[in-house]
Amino acid sequence: MNSTPVSSILLVLFGSFIGSFGAVFLKLGAMRLTGRTLDFLNWQLAAGVVLYLGSSVPFVMGIKHGELSVLYPMVSAGYVCTMIWSRLFFNEPITKAKVGALGMILLGLVCLTSLGRG
């Protein structure tokens, strides 16, 4: 396998995006837990699990025709989305350290994308 097609890159990035919403719903569901067993039956927690599992579908479709060493690190794009959702949904702070770390992730993704296509 000599290169990774753009379609594979987009599928993996889409899966990461879906997974980042899964994290939001897992947190929303976890916030409703009080320690009782039936608390695990809330719809936000179920949605989070479904989104997390569902994110593997485009991921698997993407890695089928691409280089795993290029595509798997692209799952980290979900961290970028998760930071944005954390700010929007939970009012979590976006610090300089977080922005710097995410900038390095994005730079790494750009490097991997250009290496994977050439």
pLDDT tens digits, residue range 33-84? 887 767 777 899 999 999 999 999 999 999 999 888 888 888 888 888 999 9
Of the pLDDT bands very low, low, confident and very high (cuts 50, 70, 90), residue 111 is confident
Q: Is residue 101 part of a domain?
A: yes
Q: Is residue 32 part of a domain?
A: yes
3-state DSSP assignment of residue 12? helix
Q: What is the CA radius of gyration of the chain?
A: 16
Q: What is the DSSP string of 34-47?
A: -S-GGGGG-HHHHH
Per-residue confidence (pLDDT) for residue 37, from 0 to 100? 67
Q: Is residue 43 part of a domain?
A: yes
**C-alpha pair distances (Å), 57 with each of 14, 60, 62, 77:** 10, 5, 9, 16
Predicted confidence (pLDDT) per residue in 2-19, tens digit: 688 999 999 999 999 999
- Structural domain count of the chain: 1
Q: Is residue 65 part of a domain?
A: yes
Kindly tell me the burial class for residue 16, based on how many C-beta atoms sit within 10 Å of its own C-beta (0-12, 13-18, 19 or more).
buried
Q: Is residue 1 part of a domain?
A: no
Q: Is residue 31 part of a domain?
A: yes
Range of the domain at 59: 6-117
Per-residue confidence (pLDDT) for residue 2, from 0 to 100? 61
Q: Is residue 66 part of a domain?
A: yes
Q: Is residue 62 part of a domain?
A: yes
